[in-house]
């Protein structure tokens, strides 16, 4: 099996997505080609330790939960991530992948839940969105918009409508912590009757965790 550069493997409650609150093993891969303005995991851009996929799976198994999230950084920046995802689902894990959507997802195992973050204007990286990735999403997947201001919100609404995302998968609207008032975002969603799930990062509320755990 291949090696991957890993920043950390840890056990916590899922803080986002539609499995929020569920005990989950997080495998954070090192490296990312993007530099979003609101990034809370810049410590994963470099460093890390090369670990064999078999060892990664062994460590994940010790926590006795079927839920595993592969995150980063940008996990798909390491080609062997595809192999890791497949090995995990073959072992019976319920696997989700947190990806920026800036890298092709067509080879991701269909059993993996893809949580794709389409980058909003305030991220500074919206030009990197690969909209052809939307074609490879199914009803089990999720698209996330991280919203920092009115421009982001209006942009997200337009993408939601243009690609009819709510007919393809679940859509998540999430406020940038400390930048977008969450109550105001919730009220906008209700006002506009958007077919989306509002979410706040649970881990930051529970542990004041600014590092994305």
Average pLDDT of the chain to the nearest whole number: 95
Give the range of the structural domain holding residue 117, as residue numbers without chain letter.
Answer: 3-207
So what's the pLDDT on residue 211?
44
Q: Mean per-residue pLDDT for 98-103? A: 95
Tokens of 48: 């890390």
- For the domain that residue 111 is a member of, what is the CATH number? 3.20.20.70
Torsion of CA 110, 126, 41, 69, to 10 degrees: -10
Would you say 211 and 185 are in contact if contact means Cβ atoms under 8 Å apart?
Answer: no
Q: Does residue 28 lie within any of the structural domains? A: yes
pLDDT digit string (tens) for 180-213?
A: 999 999 999 999 999 999 999 887 888 876 444 4
Residue 92's pLDDT band (cuts 50, 70, 90): very high
Q: Does residue 213 lie within any of the structural domains? A: no
Label residues 47-75 b or e (16+ Cβ within 10 Å = b).
ebeebebeebbeebeebeeebbbbbbbbb
Question: Reduced to 3 DSSP states, what percent helix, strand and coil does the chain have, rounded to the nearest 5?
Answer: 35, 25, 40
Q: Does residue 53 lie within any of the structural domains? A: yes
Query: Domain tally for the chain?
Result: 1
pLDDT digit string (tens) for 11-65?
A: 999 999 989 999 999 999 999 999 999 998 999 999 999 999 999 999 999 999 9
Of the candidates 9, 136, 30, the one whose C-alpha atom is nearest the C-alpha of residue 73 is: 30
Q: Mean per-residue pLDDT for 77-81? A: 98
Q: Mean per-residue pLDDT for 122-147? A: 97
Q: Does residue 9 lie within any of the structural domains? A: yes
Q: Does residue 212 lie within any of the structural domains? A: no
- What percentage of the chain has pLDDT greater than the value 70? 98
């Amino acid at each position: 099996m291949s090696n991957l550069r890993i920043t950390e493997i840890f056990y916590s409650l899922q803080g986002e997505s539609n499995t929020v609150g569920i005990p989950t093993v997080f495998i954070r891969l090192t490296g990312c080609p993007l530099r979003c303005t609101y990034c809370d995991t810049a410590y994963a851009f470099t460093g890390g330790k090369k670990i064999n996929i078999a060892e990664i799976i062994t460590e994940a198994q010790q926590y006795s939960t079927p839920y595993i999230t592969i995150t980063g950084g940008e996990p798909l920046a390491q080609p062997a991530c595809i192999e890791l995802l497949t090995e995990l689902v073959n072992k019976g894990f319920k696997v989700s992948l947190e990806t920026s959507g800036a890298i092709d997802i067509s080879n991701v195992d269909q059993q993996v839940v893809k949580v794709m973050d389409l980058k909003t204007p305030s991220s500074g990286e919206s030009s990197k969105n690969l909209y052809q990735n939307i074609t490879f999403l199914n009803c089990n997947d999720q698209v996330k918009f991280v919203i920092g201001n009115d421009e982001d919100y209006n942009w997200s609404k337009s993408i939601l409508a243009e690609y009819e995302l709510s007919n393809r998968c679940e859509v998540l609207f999430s406020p940038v912590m400390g930048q977008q008032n969450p109550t105001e975002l919730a009220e906008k969603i209700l006002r506009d009757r958007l077919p989306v799930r509002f979410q706040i990062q649970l881990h930051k509320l529970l542990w004041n965790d600014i590092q994305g755990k």
